[in-house]
Amino acid sequence: MNQNLTADRQTFVTHLECSITGERYEADQLHGLSRAGRPLLVRYDLDAVRSAVSRDTIEARPTDLWRWRELLPVRHTSNIVSLGEIETPLVPLTKSGGPNVLVKDEGRLPTGSFKARGLVMAVAMAKELGVTKIAMPTNGNAGAALAAYATRCGIETIVFCPDDTPEINVREIAMQGARVWRVNGLIDDCGAIVGKGAAEGRWFDFSTLKEPYRIEGKKTMGLELAAQFGWKLPDAIFYPTGGGTGLIGMWKAFDELEKLGWIGSERPKMFAVQASGCAPIVRAFEAGEEHAERWEDASTVAAGIRVPKAVGDFLILRAVRESGGQALAVGDPAILKAVDAAAKQDGLLLCPEGGATLAAYHQALNTGLVDEDDKVVLFNCATGLKYPMPEAPQALDRTRPIDFDAL
């Protein structure tokens, strides 16, 4: 049994807070969005955390997600359904990236994507708060992670995905015990169905940022980066942005770490990477807007970031602006070229969304937003093995003479 999960423990959550009005909400109660219709953020007694643990205590623990337990919301360890949430490695991408480019390879997590971080936390909290039935709209990976964790602890799940969601995602969701429906629309159309059922009291709505705890799970990416970089942070982070949970979560993590005195005030430039065929955050960033309009006719090979409208848009835009970063759009050809380059030159199979961050890095390099000396982290959010690959049709007839020179 994982040492980080053995003892039942205390948590340091004081309350939740509306991300737009600051209105306070009680901890230990089931919440969706705030009354203003915006995400709720979990707040902790960080002075008490500082007295209870030090950086050294954390570093002495096994390196998984649960080593950060004092900064996480689950009250009782018994509510955690773990599938082995490891710390993901930083893999150098020397040839297709550059001398200072590292990929945080989230494809190693349970269910093969970083959605596991958010969903392991959200499901534990749902269990703690007595939820028995959950519905979710998904572009694939979130549904798979939900299905795995919820099934494991006996929570019923109904998942809705666009009908052109990668086939493997739809099947893994079904295989892991959820009822999955292909819908002739985009993720926000699926979200509308989930919302309607939730309003009728049929299930609890697990849409991105519509429950407060996925951000806390995704926050661990920022905590891990701080520890992996020796309690400093990289110069720039490229994050493929759909709902933006991870970007918002990391930004929150850095803030909490600074308040604990574990890192200084320096921050990485945050680059929110989107696909040119669905770039609402980029458009809002460039127009200087605080919120992003829905992107019509969204289309891209990078299904995970095909999110026409994000409820946390203003949180993404604020973090990117405060960090001195930018929102960048890359086209599908550049995405596919980047996936190919990382695989062929560095032996690392990225998902298309991960490829988008590599393409965006080169764009940022060419336009002087970063330079070659900057220490850069790209996020590969899912294993490349889930996505279609070009055919490899060569066959050899062993009963005939073999032309070894031609092999």
Residues at the interface with ligand PLP (CB under 6 A): 113, 115, 141-142, 208, 240-246, 304-305, 351, 353, 381-382
Name the residue number minimizing CB distance to ligand PLP.
304
Cβ-based nearer residue to ligand PLP, 257 or 310: 310
Nearer to ligand PLP, 305 or 320 (CB): 305
The least distance separating ligand PLP from the CB of residue 392, rounded to whole angstroms, comes to 24
Tell me how far, at minimum, the Cβ of 138 lies from ligand PLP, in Å.
8
Measured from the CB atom, is 144 or 260 closer to ligand PLP?
144
Amino acid letter, residue 294:
R
Q: How far is the CB of 171 from ligand PLP (least distance, A)?
A: 16
The least distance separating ligand PLP from the CB of residue 149, rounded to whole angstroms, comes to 15
Closest distance of CB 115 from ligand PLP, Å: 5
By beta-carbon proximity to ligand PLP, the closer residue of 53 and 250 is: 250
C-beta of 305: minimal distance to ligand PLP in Å? 5
Choice between 113 and 300, CB closer to ligand PLP: 113
Cβ-contact 310, 291 below 8 angstroms: no
Task: Using the minimum distance from each CB to ligand PLP, give the nearer residue, 53 or 236.
Answer: 236
- Closer residue to ligand PLP, CB minimum distance, 70 or 353: 353
We find the least distance from the C-beta atom of residue 272 to ligand PLP, in angstroms, to be 8
